[in-house]
Amino acid sequence: MLRSPAQALCRAEVTQVGLPAGGPEEVERSVEYLRSLAADQVFREAVAVSGPALARRWARVLRGEDRALPELRRAVRALTAYRIRMATRCTPFRADGRRRPGRLRRGARRR
């Protein structure tokens, strides 16, 4: 059976940064890219649920607390991978794929 991705492919419109190697320009472009990803609340929530450590690192960068180039590169690489995976997975991304509370109808049986 062929399954299509759960998320629309347009969710990964911006996945390539085209950053220059090293220097202040790379820092600026990386932070700008991370801010553009943060504008998508669904993506931000999915990262917070499935990768809390990455979400905390991302928040530190956005607050201006952590702008070291190696840290920025790791954040850009990890968040771009999440974005691509979220747009192309056949199964729901973790934010949607987890169990949710519900109610059983009267007389219903557990499977």
Q: What is the CA radius of gyration of the chain?
A: 18
φ, ψ for residue 91, nearest 5 deg: -100, 160
Neighbours of 10 (CB within 10 A): 7
Distance CA 60, CA 35 (A): 12
- Whether pLDDT at 3 is above 50: no
pLDDT for 105:
72
Residues, the chain: 111
Report the distance separating Cα 8 and Cα 85, nearest Å. Answer: 11
Whole-prediction pTM: 0.65
Q: What is the pLDDT of residues 74-106, one digit of tens each?
A: 999 999 999 988 888 766 555 455 555 666 677
